[in-house]
């Protein structure tokens, strides 16, 4: 995975993560389920800065990457006027 990366915090409680292994969402991350933010590498850790300003670390929650929006072309001054 490349960073920075847009992500969403998810709930895995009851989901089968691997054959015979059921997931459990960490209690500290429950209030953040469904929130989105930006995941960045900080040393060997992943810091997720949520859109609401909260910070949660990758090892404290379950999260999934979102498709990064395509880069917008830079606007060029003077274009788009009427003749």
- For 23-81, the pLDDT digits (tens) are 999 999 999 999 999 999 999 999 999 999 999 999 999 999 998 655 555 444 444 43
Q: Identify the three-state secondary structure at position 55.
A: strand
Give the Å distances, CA to CA, from 44 to 27, 58, 59, 76. Answer: 23, 11, 11, 39
Q: Identify the three-state secondary structure at position 74.
A: coil
Question: Buried b vs exposed e over 42-63: b needs ≥16 C-beta within 10 Å?
Answer: eeeebbbebeeeeebebebbbb
For the chain, domain boundaries: 5-65
């Amino acid at each position: 995975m490349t960073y920075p990366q847009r992500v969403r915090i998810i709930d895995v409680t009851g989901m089968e993560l691997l054959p015979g292994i059921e997931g459990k969402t960490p209690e500290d991350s429950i209030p953040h389920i469904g929130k989105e933010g930006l995941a960045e590498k900080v040393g060997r850790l992943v810091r997720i800065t949520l859109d609401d300003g909260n910070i949660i670390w990758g090892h404290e929650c379950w999260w999934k990457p979102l498709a990064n929006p395509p880069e917008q072309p830079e606007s060029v001054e003077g274009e788009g006027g009427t003749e």
